[in-house]
Amino acid sequence: MKRILALTIGLLTAGGMIWATPVSLQTLINTNGTITSGDKTFSNFEATLTIFGPGTATPTDLSGITVKPVIQGGLFGISLTGGMYAACLPADCPTTWNLNVSWEVTAASPYLIDGVHLIINGGSANPPNSSVTVSENVFDGGLNFLGNGLVFTPTKLTDFISLPQGYSKISVFKDIFLVADVKSGFAFAKLSDVRQLYSQTPSNAIPEPGTYAMLGAGLAALALLRRRFS
């Protein structure tokens, strides 16, 4: 029975677990796991969670963060959920919740990743003292910087990072920061969903000169055949 359950929720490989269903961030790290979303594979997850202040902050560990595959607008990606929340009364302020998380994204052939969409769903009371901020840096497989993005409540909930060209693999480093702070009353910052989607282009979108030559030769041969049979 346990074996059947394991096969239901993930596949065991030499490199770790392959997940096609929601899984906790801690499990991905512990199992050196990968998660698949369409033609995208996400791997090498690393994360640290820091909480400061005597107010309320959740989740308190990485097992409370769920990573799940998503598809939106025909694009594949992943989202992080888990009721991310920081709150305080004046005596307990400020209270912060900070997740630093990174992973690698690999696109299946023949596709190359040429853009990164960042989307959040959250809010805060008493802005700008209380806020949600998500920043992101993107690198290629050799850790050369490609671009960055920034979203924050309440006014900028989406961003797009256009990459210089298409890449079969990129690395993403994300900083998710919630701060609750108030002089009177009650303050909170909350985040229900951090989503990342990837735009792509076929690696063969622009044929090489040799490809054009072969195509021209083929069309010429086809024209000769049509003349012979007409």
Burial group, residue 211, by CB count within 10 angstroms (0-12, 13-18, 19+): exposed
Mean pLDDT of the region 74-83? 95
Classify residue 179: in a domain, yes or no: yes
pTM above 0.85, yes or no: no
Within its chain, how far is the Cα of 68 from the centroid? 10
Classify residue 27: in a domain, yes or no: no
**What pLDDT is attached to residue 203?**
66
**What pLDDT is attached to residue 137?**
97
Helix (H) or strand (E) holding 119: strand 111-124
Classify residue 36: in a domain, yes or no: no
Query: Positive or negative CA dihedral for 186, 85, 152, 75?
Result: negative
Q: If pLDDT is split at 50, 70 and 90, which confidence band does 135 have?
A: very high
Task: Supply the CATH number for residue 148's domain.
Answer: 2.60.120
Classify residue 122: in a domain, yes or no: yes
1-47: pLDDT as tens digits:
322 223 333 444 335 677 678 999 999 999 999 999 999 999 999 99
pLDDT at 119 over 50: yes
Q: Which of 18, 133, 108 has its CA nearest to residue 69?
A: 18
**What pLDDT is attached to residue 44?**
96
Q: Out of 98-112, 133-147, 155-169, 199-213, pick the least confident.
A: 199-213
**What pLDDT is attached to residue 193?**
95
Q: If pLDDT is split at 50, 70 and 90, which confidence band does 202 have?
A: confident
Cα–Cα distance measured from residue 154 to residue 4, given in angstroms and rounded to the nearest whole number: 45
Mean pLDDT of the region 144-167? 95
54-78: pLDDT as tens digits:
999 999 999 999 999 999 999 999 9
Mean pLDDT of the region 132-139? 97
**What pLDDT is attached to residue 217?**
43
Q: If pLDDT is split at 50, 70 and 90, which confidence band does 191 have?
A: very high
Classify residue 204: in a domain, yes or no: yes
Average pLDDT, the chain: 84
Mean pLDDT of the region 97-125? 95
pLDDT at 194 over 70: yes
Classify residue 120: in a domain, yes or no: yes
Give backbone dihedrals phi and psi of 46, rounded to 5 degrees, phi first.
-140, 150
Task: Quickly count: other Cβ atoms within 10 Å of residue 77's Cβ.
Answer: 22
pLDDT at 211 over 60: no
Domain span including residue 96: 47-229
Q: What is the tally of structural domains in the chain?
A: 1
Classify residue 156: in a domain, yes or no: yes
Q: If pLDDT is split at 50, 70 and 90, which confidence band does 218 have?
A: very low
Classify residue 34: in a domain, yes or no: no
How many degrees, rounded to 5, is the angle at CA 140 between CA 136 and CA 143? 85
